[in-house]
Amino acid sequence: MRSWLRTVGVLVLGSCALGLYGQGSEVPPAEGRTGAVIINPEQLWNGKTSVAGQGFEVPGITLSRGREQRHRIGDSAQYALRNYVDTAWASASATEDSVVAGATVHWVRYHLKADKEVKGWPMLVNVHVNAAFTMYLNGKKLVQAAAPGDLAWARHDSVPRYTVPVALLCDGRDEVLALRLETTPGATLAQTGLEVSIHAADSGYHLNSIVMNYGLFIGINVLILLMALVQGWSEQKRKGWLLLAALSLCSVADTICVLGGSMGVLGWLPDTARVLEIMRLITVPWGMYLLIMVLAELRGELSRKRTWLYSAGIAVITVGGIMVLAMDGTADPGKWVSFSYTENSARQLAFYFLLGILALIGVFVVVWFAIEEVRLGIKLWRTKGYERWVGVGAVAASLLTFALGVLGGFAGFGLANWLSVLASYCSFVAVPISVAIYLSIRSAHHTRLVTRQRDELDLEVQERTAELQSEKERSDDLLHNILPHEVAEELKNTGAAEAKHFDQATVLFTDFRGFTQMSEKLSPEQLVNELDTCFKHFDGLMDKWGMEKIKTIGDSYMAAGGLPDPAKGSPADVVHAALEMQEFMEELAQKRTAQGLPVFRMRVGIHTGPVVAGIVGVKKFQYDIWGDTVNTASRMESSGEVGQVNISGATYALVKDTVVSPQLSVVSCQGGTRTTDNQQLTTPAFNFTPRGRIQAKGKGEMEMYFVRRSSSGS
């Protein structure tokens, strides 16, 4: 009863691992009725044999195993012949521990029956032995090798291996491969460690391509691992990236288990390789578990309940796998049921019973995981987001791998190899490649979003900059309208403007006669409109003649020439501006009289002298001038007459010699700067009417002149 329970437990555990050891299974050599080994393309390519230094899954046919290996202790040249009858020889599996006193020679013969399909194929025979040997094919000597030296230090895969090229006759008769082994007296065949296998000549290339593919699988998964870690570090709130990194790490571990375990190409000791082979009982379900977690997280279905269920399932499989590894130091499943019943076997029976229960649960969990993997993969595939690519990879890694494996079972051996390679790629790299596509599309999408946001931000910045520039220009225009350009720039750059002394400035004052009486006849709006009309025209004349408007006080208009730029607004320019002011007022009076409206009459006074100009205070900046010159100019205006421009003697002295060119443009004057090139200067610009010395309020008697434009200059 106990033995039956142990056997059932092991068989259930084996069924759980059935899909995991597909690449580790061997195709037994086909035998004819005479015990000959059948040599055909299918056996050479689909058969798996162990070759020291190359691995446990090398395409080929194992000869040194089973009843097709015939053994005899003794020596005779007849033993190498093809037609020698060896039916009396025993199977090597029954005589490998046989000893004949003093005997030093062992003969081993293999009967080969080659199909005509392999005629002309170059083949290789691998001999792995710790003894001197001579090899014969159909009685013809192929190679002779001496015994290796002391190999006590050597690992299993570093014991000398000999590769001998052979060509079979393929004539329908049994062909004989014979080996003569020379050992120490009394040594057994088992002590030589003889292993013989036959392969197609390019089996090494086939094996290398398989190893290269698995190396590519590892490289791709390592890249995805690094990418997932980087993304997880940048998006710490999303645990899906850590799950994806764990999935890639699990895929790397699974690939190493295949290479070092079932294939045995990493050069590790057999016990280590067996442990790695059994480790796939854990790595494969863990890969399924992590893939399900990734898919559920991307789908938004990774609830706490689902997480606990998935974790409980993988925990059962992990515990079962650890128990399998702990059962035997060599982890050899063949020894699991070999113990005999003793008084302590009840504990072992309980152990295997528990292992059987875990195996049953493990089978259920693996099937459940497979269904969940397909279900979540298809649901994610059908979504509209770019996460759908991960769903495509999951479906390819499950359904497509299964479909290719089924097709390979029904296809010919050549097509089956290709389908096997495609199935391996789907199994190992479908998910990593789909994740790479997902990350690439996601990165491109984010890049487009960032680019669009950047472009929109740049456009908004440009619009705001344009608005700010427009506002700045309006502010500058307003500031320059209030203050001279030089003073405004100094004020903007330093926050203050120092007052400056000017040795020569020409100050102009205007005043309307009878303004108070006139204001009683006009409404406030009409009065303001009249003043605005006059002052707007005066402002234009200031720009024309390079003068600076200082301020208006009621109906009085004050301006100056020669400041803040002494090169502009000469005394003659100020006089010209004053004359054009009076001319405008005369034209305006004629229009108002014709309309029956009241008219303004204006006095203008001008004086030239030193002034101080600048701004004072911190609020409502106003550019102003100070000095006796200002007061004197004001007296010139109040001492003048309506319709006249009254200038002081100081101004007269500066403008009396002003002349105009034949084109009537002012070109020079004393104290002035306006000139034209190469013009003949002969015509006076102004006519003066001396008024003599006139009493000015607060100034005493002063020389004054009325000035008009000369008839030739008008």
Tell me the two tokens of residue 699.
């100034």
Tell me the two tokens of residue 298.
């991307």
263: enclosing H helix or E strand? none
Pairwise pLDDT comparison (364 vs 428), residue with the higher score: 364
Pairwise pLDDT comparison (619 vs 9), residue with the higher score: 619
**Mean pLDDT on 349-373:** 85
Surface-to-core class of residue 678, CB atoms within 10 Å of its CB (0-12 exposed, 13-18 middle, 19+ buried): exposed
- Percent of the chain whose pLDDT exceeds 70: 85
As a whole number, the mean pLDDT across the chain is 80
Q: How many CB atoms lie within 10 A of CB 412?
A: 10
pLDDT of residue 230: 86
pLDDT confidence tier of residue 712, bands split at 50, 70 and 90: low
pLDDT confidence tier of residue 287, bands split at 50, 70 and 90: confident
Is it the case that residue 644 has pLDDT exceeding 90? yes
Pairwise pLDDT comparison (241 vs 181), residue with the higher score: 181
pLDDT (tens digit per residue) in 557-566: 999 999 888 8
Q: Provide CB contacts within 8 A for 407, sequence distance 6+.
A: 419
Listed range (9-13, 259-263, 313-317) with the worst mean pLDDT: 9-13
pLDDT confidence tier of residue 231, bands split at 50, 70 and 90: confident
Is it the case that residue 705 has pLDDT exceeding 90? yes
pLDDT (tens digit per residue) in 313-348: 888 888 888 887 776 544 444 444 444 444 456 777
User: Could you tell me which CATH number the domain at 31-201 has?
Assistant: 2.60.120.260
Angle at 13 between CA 7 and CA 19, to 5 degrees: 135
pLDDT (tens digit per residue) in 30-72: 443 347 899 998 888 778 888 877 777 788 999 887 667 899 9
pLDDT of residue 340: 42
Q: Report how far residue 670's alpha carbon sits from residue 55's, in angstroms, rounded to the nearest whole number.
A: 114
Q: Report how far residue 273's alpha carbon sits from residue 283's, in angstroms, rounded to the nearest whole number.
A: 15
How many residues comprise the chain?
714
pLDDT of residue 682: 65
First-to-last C-alpha distance (Å) of the chain: 141
Listed range (21-30, 185-194, 448-457) with the worst mean pLDDT: 21-30
Pairwise pLDDT comparison (287 vs 483), residue with the higher score: 287
Distances (CA, A) of 49 to 161, 272, 677: 14, 18, 111
Sheet strand arrangement including 195-200: 61-62, 195-200, 123-128, 161-166
Is it the case that residue 501 has pLDDT exceeding 60? yes
pTM, two decimal places: 0.54
Is it the case that residue 153 has pLDDT exceeding 50? no
pLDDT (tens digit per residue) in 389-443: 888 888 888 877 778 777 776 766 557 667 777 777 777 778 878 877 877 787 7
Distances (CA, A) of 13 to 151, 258, 327, 333, 360: 38, 19, 13, 10, 8
Pairwise pLDDT comparison (265 vs 417), residue with the higher score: 265
User: Could you tell me which CATH number the domain at 499-709 has?
Assistant: 3.30.70.1230
Q: Provide CB contacts within 8 A for 17, sequence distance 6+.
A: 280, 281
Distances (CA, A) of 520 to 392, 525, 642: 94, 12, 20
Is it the case that residue 18 has pLDDT exceeding 80? no
pLDDT confidence tier of residue 507, bands split at 50, 70 and 90: very high
Is it the case that residue 283 has pLDDT exceeding 80? yes
pLDDT confidence tier of residue 359, bands split at 50, 70 and 90: confident
Q: How many CB atoms lie within 10 A of CB 424?
A: 20
Give the start-to-end residue ranges of the domains of the chain.
31-201, 208-431, 499-709
In degrees rounded to 5, what are phi and psi of residue 79?
A: -65, -20
Phi-psi region of 148 (alpha: psi -120 to 50; beta: other; left: phi over 0): beta
Is it the case that residue 657 has pLDDT exceeding 70? yes
Q: Report how far residue 714's alpha carbon sits from residue 709's, in angstroms, rounded to the nearest whole number.
A: 6
Q: Report how far residue 254's alpha carbon sits from residue 7's, in angstroms, rounded to the nearest whole number.
A: 28
Listed range (25-29, 140-144, 192-196, 640-644) with the worst mean pLDDT: 25-29
pLDDT of residue 664: 46
Listed range (210-214, 342-346, 356-360, 399-403) with the worst mean pLDDT: 342-346
pLDDT confidence tier of residue 21, bands split at 50, 70 and 90: very low
Q: Report how far residue 253's alpha carbon sits from residue 700's, in angstroms, rounded to the nearest whole number.
A: 114
Angle at 199 between CA 193 and CA 202, to 5 degrees: 130
Pairwise pLDDT comparison (139 vs 18), residue with the higher score: 139
Q: Report how far residue 398's alpha carbon sits from residue 18's, in angstroms, rounded to the nearest whole number.
A: 16
pLDDT of residue 650: 93
pLDDT of residue 413: 55
pLDDT confidence tier of residue 604, bands split at 50, 70 and 90: very high
3-class DSSP assignment, residue 33: coil
pLDDT of residue 14: 42
Name the residue type at position 676.
Answer: T
Q: Report how far residue 485's alpha carbon sits from residue 107's, in angstroms, rounded to the nearest whole number.
A: 118
pLDDT of residue 5: 31
Q: Report how far residue 9's alpha carbon sits from residue 568's, in angstroms, rounded to the nearest whole number.
A: 114
